[in-house]
Amino acid sequence: MSFDQLGLAPSLLEAVAAEGYSTPTPIQAKAIPAVLEGQDVLAAAQTGTGKTAAFTLPLLHRLGQDTATKPRVLVLTPTRELAAQVEQSVKTYGRGGHLRSTVIFGGVGYQPQISAFRKGVDIIVATPGRLLDHLQQGNVDLSGLETLVLDEADRMLDMGFIHDIKRVLKHVPAKRQTLLFSATFSKDIRKLAASLLHKPVEIDVAPRNATADRIDQKVVMVEKSRKRALLSHLIGTGDWSQVLVFTRTKHGANRLVKQLETDGLSAAALHGNKSQNARTKALDGFKAGTLRVLVATDIAARGIDIDALPHVVNYELPNVPEDYVHRIGRTGRAGSAGEAVSLVGPDERKYLKDIEKLIGSSIERMVVEGIDLRSAGHDEPEDDRPPRRDNGGGNRPPKRGGGRGGPNRANAGGEAPKANPAGRRRKPRRGKRGGQRSGGGAN
């Protein structure tokens, strides 16, 4: 199947060709005709499947060339990054037309957003909280809305945006087209879909681990206190030029960046406590290749789209197995090969087991030469609090290059006795909306 067969306007086909896409991805082949017909769509698709173009292209086609007095399409996303990225796609695919789009999220001033609304806008891409603020202040009128898209709906629910979404819905006409994209179909997503969608076309193109085929997945069993040295070692010996590293906490991300910098690696953290400017700068530097390591938390990494990102490292495994699939899905995009290495501490084995169960196969254990993976002393604290300055011993930095190991001690660490109690950092990963927002999170 080619894009020409989908019935899209010539200007859209030109944009698609200019992007270098030759054939529609499976989700595009299925969603584009349904959206063109005005049907509701319920699609199981994660980032990397081409889902953005799957709704953006047909919606641009439907909007045609005429700008309207009120917004006609609203796309809700869980994070600022995803919102920015989707709006960029709208601009990219829509550059042959005259439609106006704007992106709305928190953490930046209201005034430019209000001005954009005043000038008139056809397509809004927004995170729910800030959009709701605008609606409550009467800055924007959604009564002319024709299509509502919920992108990464599962993540929006996880992040506690359901109430904001429901409030936004009160400002949107009941008679409209609704498209819901979600990586997973939990009971809650089904419930939301049942309440929002009318006879939706159901599309499921992405079995949960479909992307994993192109990704070379590996696990290294390592003591927690040796993870940093191992990461620097892997980056150095593998000559990795661009690696996305996941930590579970914001504090962990900050600390790792500092440590990597002492190892002489250019690194930056991407998480919800960073200003929008800092986030954009980090992401741009990473994309441009001036920044070698980007350390991110799950939520901040959502929607990061970097073509051909070669390496992903799980510095800590996520405690939600699905997040593993999301994380490694950042590499091995669009047919290119990718490598995902997980550094697994003794207290993370349960997470590993859950992940292997979800993906339905066991992940290859990797042997790393030239570095001792066993702890030379006590492990570092790994929770979200700043390190304590007491004499408890637990915070002592790891001895570097300790005398116990030489080459080929690899992998022994995983079998060593536990150095850190597992229960220590069972902080709920997913906050309520208030927390997210006050913490400068996604919204």
The residues binding ligand AMP (CB under 6 A) are 21, 24-25, 28, 47-53, 305, 307, 333-334
User: CA-based angle 149:151:153, to the nearest 5?
Assistant: 110
Residue 28 vs 79, nearer CB to ligand AMP: 28
Residue 2 vs 361, nearer CB to ligand AMP: 2
Say what angle helices 51-63 and 10-18 make with each other, to 10 degrees.
150
Residue 280 vs 411, nearer CB to ligand AMP: 280
Residue 335 vs 406, nearer CB to ligand AMP: 335
* Min separation Cβ 266 and ligand AMP, Å: 24
Contact criterion met (CB below 8 Å) for 158 and 127 = no
Q: Quote the tokens at residue 325.
A: 């699939």
What span, in angstroms and rounded, lies between the C-alpha atoms of 293 and 274?
16
What span, in angstroms and rounded, lies between the C-alpha atoms of 415 and 222?
9
CA distances from 390 to 341, 380, 426 (A): 34, 13, 22
Residue 32 vs 257, nearer CB to ligand AMP: 32
* Min separation Cβ 432 and ligand AMP, Å: 27
Q: Quote the tokens at residue 365.
A: 């254990």
CA distances from 177 to 41, 73, 89, 115, 148 (A): 9, 9, 20, 27, 6
* Min separation Cβ 115 and ligand AMP, Å: 29
User: CA-based angle 354:357:359, to the nearest 5?
Assistant: 110
* Min separation Cβ 16 and ligand AMP, Å: 7
**Local structure of residue 67 (DSSP, 8 states):** -
Phi-psi region for residue 252, left (φ > 0), alpha (ψ -120 to 50) or beta? alpha
Q: How many CA atoms lie within 13 A of 15 on its CB side?
A: 21
**Local structure of residue 315 (DSSP, 8 states):** S
- Tokens 């819905």 — which residue? 169
The full DSSP string for 318-356 is -SSHHHHHHHHTTSSGGG--EEEEEEE-GGGHHHHHHHH
Distance in angstroms between the alpha carbons of the first and the last residue of the chain: 39
